[in-house]
Amino acid sequence: MKNQKGITLVSLTVYIVITIFVIVMLTVIRGNYQKGLKEITNDSTVESELNQFNLYFLEDTKKEGNNVTVSNDGKTIKFSSGNIYEYDQDKKVLYLNIEQIEVPDPEYQELEYIESTGTQYIDTNTKFIDVGEKIVLDMQLTSKINNKWFCGTNSNFEAGVYDNKLYTGAKFTYSSNNLTDRLDATGINTNAIESNIYIFARNWKGNYDGASMKLYSAKIYDASGNLIKNFIPCYRKVDGVIGIYDIVNGNFYINKGTGTFGKGKEVTNTNIVIKKDKEDNTKIALLKDIENCVFTTDNSTGKTKIKLNVTFNGQIKKEKNYIMSDEKATIAYQDENDYIKTKDIAGLPKEYQKVEYIESTGTQYIDTGYIPSVNTKYYLKLMSTNNSTSYRWFIGSGNRTTYGKTSLLALANNSGNFYHEITGSNVNATTFSINVLYEVEFSVSNLLVNGQNYATNRLTLESTGYPVWIFACNNAGNTYDNRFIGRMYSVKIYEDGELTRDFISCYCTNEMKDVNGNICSIGTIGLYDLVENKFYTNSGTGTFLKGEDV
C-alpha cells in the first residue's frame, strides 16, 4: 500500500491557496460593487441637484429680455429679473437668492422738509467742472432778507435774494419769481468751479451768508444728465441729528454751520431704503458639496450662451450650456439639443405693461443720456404715420455746425427716403413709406433696412459728445430739423458688440420714478431699458400715444 501523506499535504496546500484566492477575489468584487454603488449614488444625487438647478435656471434663461451679468470670478450670475445665482466658496454651495426687498432704512427717518434759520448750511462735497452739470432745489424761502443766499459757490454760480428779488445773474432760473412761493431753483454750470457747492448758503471763499428757507429735496446731475446725487431731508434716529441723505450713494450730510435745522413732518412712504433678503424662503441651496463652480458667457454667435462648469465632491464634473431667449425667439435651449417652448414675453418689472409701440405726434422725444462712439450700432423697429416731405429724424446726436471735429450720427426720413447722415458721408437709401414696419440697423459704416444693405463708405467718426435722442436728433442740445412722427416698437444700442441699451415700449401701472428721479403717474408712456432697469419718459411736450398691450 502506497503512502498517501504527501498527496494529502499537496492537496491541502492547493486548497488553501485556492481558498485565499477566492476570498481575495470576493473582497475585490465586493469593494468594486460598493464603489460602483457609491458612484451610482453620487451620480444620482448630482443629477437630482442638477435637475433642481435646471428647474430654476431655465425659467430665467427663457424669459425674453432677461439680461444677464456674470461676475469677474464667474462665481455669481445675475439676471435683470432680480434672480441671483451665487456660489459660496466656504460652504461649497450654489444658492439661488429668490428675492430681495426694499425696506425703510432703520437708521434714518425721512422728513417732508428741513428748515434753516440762516446759520445752518450743507456742504454737498460737489464741484462743478464740466459744462452742463446741474443742481435742482425744491425749496421755499421763509425770509425775504436782502443779500442772503441759498445755494452756490461764488459770484459766478449763486442763488439768493438780491435787490429784494430772486437773483438771476449767475446761471440760476426759477419756476416762480414770487419770493414766498415754493419753487424749483435750477442752476446749470457754464464753467469750471473750484469750490464745493453749498445748500442753504453760498460758499464764498469758505464763508457763508445763508438764507432762511425750507428744503424739500435737492438733485445734482452730471453733464450727461445722469442723476449723481439725490438728497432727501431726514434725521438720524440714534441721535436725532437733522440733515439730508443722498439715496444715490448712501451718504448722510449734516449741518456745517451753527444752530440746528428745524424739521417738517415725518414721511411714511420713505425713499430712504435698504435692500434686505426676504425673510421667508430667502435662499435655496441648489447645488451642494461643490468643489468649484464657474459661470461664463459667450456672445460671439449673436445670442447669449451661458456655460456652467461644476466640479462635485469626488471630482465628478458636469458642464451644461444654455442659450438665452432674445426678443424674437420663443425657445430657450438646454444642452444645445433639448428645448423648452415658452410664450413668455415678460422682461419688464411687474410695475410696467409692455405695449406694441409708443407713438410720437412730432413734439415728443426720448433723451437716452447715452453718448455714442465710432463703435456704436443701433437696431430700430419703427413705422411712420406721416408722409412728410421734410427731414424727420428717427434717432441721432451730434453737432452739425462743427464739421471735421464732431458730427451727426443720425437717421431720418428725407422726402420719402431713408437718410443716414454722418457729416461728409450721407446715404439716401431705399424708399420710405408710411404705415410700413421697418427693421433698421445702422452704424458709422453701414445701413441695413429690412435686410437690404447700404454701405456708407465711412469708417471713422469722433465722438458726437451729445447724448442720443429717440424720435428726434440732438444737435448740440437742440432739436435738428423736425422730430419723427410715427411709432417706435423697440430700440437697441450696442457698443463694441455689447448690448448697452435695450428699450421696450411700455407704460407704468403704478406710480414710478423715471430715469431722472421724477415721479410718473399711472399710465405714463415711455421706454424701459432692460439693461440698466430704468424708465425713460418724454422730454418734449404733449404725450406719447401707445399701441395695444402685449
- What is the Cα–Cα distance from 547 to 489, expressed in whole angstroms? 9
**Span 335-360, average pLDDT:** 62
CB 114 within 8 A of CB 233: yes
Instruction: Using alpha carbons, list the distances in angstroms from residue 288 to 45, 54, 238, 390.
Output: 10, 14, 41, 64
* pLDDT tens digits, one per residue of 414-471: 766 777 766 444 555 556 778 888 888 888 777 777 767 765 555 456 666 789 999 9
Q: What percent of the chain has pLDDT over 90?
A: 30
pLDDT score for 59: 75
pLDDT score for 332: 32
- What is the Cα–Cα distance from 471 to 457, expressed in whole angstroms? 26
Using 50, 70 and 90 to split pLDDT, how confident is the model at 87?
A: confident
CB 493 within 8 A of CB 501: yes
pLDDT score for 1: 44
* pLDDT tens digits, one per residue of 403-412: 544 466 767 7
- CA atoms 373, 409, 501, 245: torsion sign: positive
CB 513 within 8 A of CB 329: no
Please give the residue that has the higher pLDDT: either 27 or 76.
Answer: 76
Listing DSSP states for 31-54 in one string gives HHHHHHHHHHHHHHHHHHHHHHHH
Q: Residue 21 belongs to what H/E stretch?
A: helix 5-61
Is the pLDDT at 100 greater than 70? The verdict is no
- What is the Cα–Cα distance from 164 to 144, expressed in whole angstroms? 7
**Span 3-13, average pLDDT:** 62
**Span 342-355, average pLDDT:** 65
Q: Residue 9 belongs to what H/E stretch?
A: helix 5-61
Q: From its phi and psi, is residue 158 left (phi > 0), alpha (psi between -120 and 50) or beta? A: beta
- What is the Cα–Cα distance from 167 to 175, expressed in whole angstroms? 13
Q: Which of 45-59, 206-220, 393-407 has the lowest mean pLDDT?
A: 393-407
- Residue 520 Cα to chain centre, angstroms: 18
CB 199 within 8 A of CB 151: yes
The strands making up 198-199's β-sheet, listed across from edge to edge, are 122-123, 198-199, 148-154, 157-162, 165-166
H-type helices in 118-269, by residue range?
Answer: none
pLDDT score for 279: 55
18 DSSP assignment? H
Quote the cell numbers at residue 290.
461643490
- CA atoms 209, 215, 221, 223: torsion sign: negative
Please give the residue that has the higher pLDDT: either 229 or 287.
Answer: 229
pLDDT score for 327: 40
The closest alpha carbon to 508, from 529, 522, 518, 527, belongs to 522
Q: Any residues with CB less than 8 A from the CB of 95 and at least 6 apart, and which?
A: 85, 86, 87, 88, 283, 284, 285, 286
pLDDT score for 549: 85
| Beta bridge partner(s), residue 246 | 231, 251
Using 50, 70 and 90 to split pLDDT, how confident is the model at 187?
A: very high
Please give the residue that has the higher pLDDT: either 341 or 485.
Answer: 485
Cβ count within 10 A of residue 21: 10
- What is the Cα–Cα distance from 44 to 222, expressed in whole angstroms? 56
CB 475 within 8 A of CB 398: yes
* Residue 381, Cβ density class (10 Å: 0-12 exposed, 13-18 middle, ≥19 buried): middle
Please give the residue that has the higher pLDDT: either 162 or 337.
Answer: 162
Instruction: Using alpha carbons, list the distances in angstroms from residue 446 to 67, 379, 414, 429, 463.
Output: 26, 12, 18, 11, 17
Q: Which of 191-195, 333-337, 397-401 has the lowest mean pLDDT?
A: 333-337
The closest alpha carbon to 429, from 407, 410, 469, 456, belongs to 456
- What is the Cα–Cα distance from 140 to 113, expressed in whole angstroms? 10
CB 302 within 8 A of CB 152: no
CB 489 within 8 A of CB 381: yes
Phi, psi of 10 (to 5 degrees): -65, -45
* pLDDT tens digits, one per residue of 152-168: 987 788 999 988 899 87
- What is the Cα–Cα distance from 4 to 216, expressed in whole angstroms? 117
Residue in this structure with the C-alpha cell 451727426, named with its chain if needed: 408
The SS3 of residue 89 is coil
Quote the cell numbers at residue 421.
447722415
The SS3 of residue 336 is coil
Show the 3-state SS of 339-379. EEECCCCCCCCCCEEEECCEEECCCCCEECCCCCCCCEEEE
- What is the Cα–Cα distance from 93 to 288, expressed in whole angstroms? 5
User: What value does the mean pLDDT of the chain take?
Assistant: 80
The closest alpha carbon to 240, from 105, 104, 107, 103, belongs to 107
Is the pLDDT at 342 greater than 50? The verdict is no
CB 160 within 8 A of CB 148: yes
pLDDT score for 258: 92
- Residue 382 Cα to chain centre, angstroms: 24
* pLDDT tens digits, one per residue of 196-246: 999 999 988 777 789 999 999 999 999 888 899 999 999 999 999 999 999
Q: Any residues with CB less than 8 A from the CB of 216 and at least 6 apart, and which?
A: 112, 113, 138, 139, 140, 182, 233
pLDDT score for 337: 34
- Tell how strand 165-166 and strand 172-174 pair up: unpaired
- What is the Cα–Cα distance from 68 to 66, expressed in whole angstroms? 7
Show the 3-state SS of 159-195. EEEECCEECCCCCEEECCCCCCCEEEEEEECCCCCCC
